[in-house]
Amino acid sequence: MTLLTTKAQASRVPLYISTAFQLCASKWTGMTDYSVAKRALQSESVSGILEDALEQLEKQFGVLLVSRICAFITAARNGLSLGELTDVVSLEWDVVSEVFEGKDVVVRRLNSVLVEQVLWELQGCLAKKRVGAGGLEAYFWSSSVFKSVAAERYLYLTDRLVATHRSLANYWRDKKVKEAAGTGAPATETKSSNGRDKATTVVKTFGFNQTLLILGKPNERRISSVVWHLLNCGTSGATEAVKTLQSISFLGAAIDAGLLDEIWNVSSLRWRTWGLAFTVRS
């Protein structure tokens, strides 16, 4: 702790001190080598400490898994719960393939415990807030500094940013995993029947329910997120957003949830930014 105290006295920035403690010092034990601790705190800035921590996490859990988890939390309209985050990351075929390393599995879905381990390692930079009428706990970056670091590291390419919003939009629209994945291809198996080999395409999916109504009540998470993410997917997403806003069932659910004004204001602002106008059929 002497090293942390020295760093704290030199910095005198509360966020630096708390980040250094949460991401580094809190995990040290009496057996931690001084050189290891010194290397962990070699950065003089908050962003630098998080960058170093993310680099270590990528080595521990894999670059794809850590990058997608951070990217989805950064891009999500209203944060993501553990279950939602596990679902949407599981739709990324390249991530799942890296985790399972080519192993044949019945359901291509990540274990939520694995995702939770990554979140636990980042607990000093994340905040959990209750969202929606159901009081679901969703993860957000606890500081704009952390969010900026994640955005610059994982969403700096326009294609990656658009792909992230597309994955979230597909998830909230309840798209099938084959359509939502965007990368990779379904597995092909060769089965023998009556002595003849036959190639069969096998798409291993998992179920999730993001319908407009759940148990007769509006799905607020889907309603408040889907249009916003579509509007961040470029021209093709804008076209789909218009169709969504023209859907009577979607508008009805939005009205029941009391979210129509919010959705309309967000959509109108985005369209004005593009210099476009849109109308919704009455």
* Distance between CA atoms of residues 230 and 180, nearest Å: 13
Per-residue pLDDT of the chain (282 residues; tens, 9 = 90+): 565 566 555 566 677 777 776 776 656 555 655 455 555 566 778 888 899 899 999 999 999 999 999 999 999 999 999 999 999 999 898 898 888 886 766 677 889 999 999 999 998 899 999 887 677 899 999 999 999 999 999 999 989 999 999 999 999 887 644 443 443 344 444 444 444 554 444 444 444 556 666 656 778 888 889 999 998 988 888 888 888 888 888 888 888 888 888 888 877 766 655 554 444 433
pLDDT at 59: 93
In a domain, 149, yes or no: yes
User: What single letter denotes the amino acid at residue 231?
Assistant: L
* Distance between CA atoms of residues 34 and 7, nearest Å: 14
Six-digit token pair at 53? 């921590």
Among 12, 13, 197, 48, smallest CA distance to 24 is for 48
* Distance between CA atoms of residues 118 and 112, nearest Å: 10
In a domain, 6, yes or no: no
pTM (two decimals): 0.79
pLDDT at 180: 38
* Distance between CA atoms of residues 242 and 72, nearest Å: 24
In a domain, 267, yes or no: no
In a domain, 41, yes or no: yes
In a domain, 150, yes or no: yes
- Expressed as residue numbers, the domain containing 128 is 13-156
pLDDT in tens, 141-190: 999 999 999 999 999 998 999 999 999 999 988 764 444 344 334 444 44
Among 132, 119, 106, 136, smallest CA distance to 54 is for 119
In a domain, 37, yes or no: yes
pLDDT at 199: 46
Among 126, 139, 120, 155, smallest CA distance to 19 is for 126
Contact yes or no for 47/143 (Cβ under 8 A): no
Q: What is the CA radius of gyration of the chain?
A: 22
Query: b vs e for 180-206, b when ≥16 Cβ sit within 10 Å of the residue's Cβ?
Result: bbeeeeeeeeeeeeeeeeeeeeeeebe
In a domain, 92, yes or no: yes
Whole-number average pLDDT of the chain: 77
Domain count, the chain: 1
- What does the chain look like in DSSP terms, one character per residue? -HHHHHHHHHH--HHHHHHHHHHTGGG--TT--HHHHHHHT--SSHHHHHHHHHHHHHHHH-HHHHHHHHHHHHH-SS-B-HHHHHHHHHT-HHHHHHHHTT---SS----HHHHHHHHHHTTTTEEEEEETTTTEEEEEESSHHHHHHHHHHHS-SHHHHHHHHHHHHHHHTT--HHHH--SS--EEEEEEETTEEEEEEE---------SEETTEE-HHHHHHHHHHHHTSHHHHHHHHHHHHT-HHHHHHHHHHT-HHHHHHHHHHHHHHHT-------
In a domain, 225, yes or no: no
